């Protein structure tokens, strides 16, 4: 069974600075997808970024980028130029390609951006 571990329950960062959230996962699958979701105080789950395991290039979405290390089974999220609106819970999630369609979530990291 796949597991996703987020070792940082809480983090804080000053506005305009850069912060990195860590995520590691365990799987025997070779093909899979990884996601970072954001859950702001409204509790709406919002997709931040996704990565296909077969792609070596790290995904980037504006201020958000990932450092995907397949061999190390690591998938960290870097937020550049942090904004107050980035304050949220961030969940790392895994989905195997084919087979089960379930998303496996980590326990989340609460990020606070301070003015």
| Residues of this chain that bind other proteins (CB under 8 A) | 33, 35, 37, 42-47, 50, 52, 91, 95, 97, 101-103, 105-108, 110
Q: Name the minimum Å distance from CB 16 to other proteins.
A: 27
Provide, rounded to whole angstroms, the least separation between the CB of residue 43 and other proteins: 5
Whole-angstrom Cα distance, residue 49 to residue 27? 20
Q: Please, which residue, 25 or 108, has the CB nearer to other proteins?
A: 108
Burial class of residue 89 in the structure, from the number of CB atoms within 10 Å of its CB (0-12 exposed, 13-18 middle, 19+ buried)? middle
């Amino acid at each position: 069974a796949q597991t996703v571990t987020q070792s940082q329950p809480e983090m804080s960062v000053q506005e305009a600075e850069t912060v990195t959230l860590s995520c590691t996962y365990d799987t025997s699958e070779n093909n899979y997808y990884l996601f970072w979701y954001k859950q702001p105080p409204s509790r709406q789950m919002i997709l931040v970024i996704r990565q296909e395991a077969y792609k070596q290039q790290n995904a980037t979405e504006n201020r958000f980028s990932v450092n995907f290390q397949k061999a190390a089974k690591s998938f960290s999220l870097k937020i550049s130029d942090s904004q107050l609106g980035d304050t949220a819970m961030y969940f790392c999630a895994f989905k195997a390609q084919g087979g089960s369609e379930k998303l496996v979530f980590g326990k989340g990291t609460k990020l606070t951006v301070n003015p």
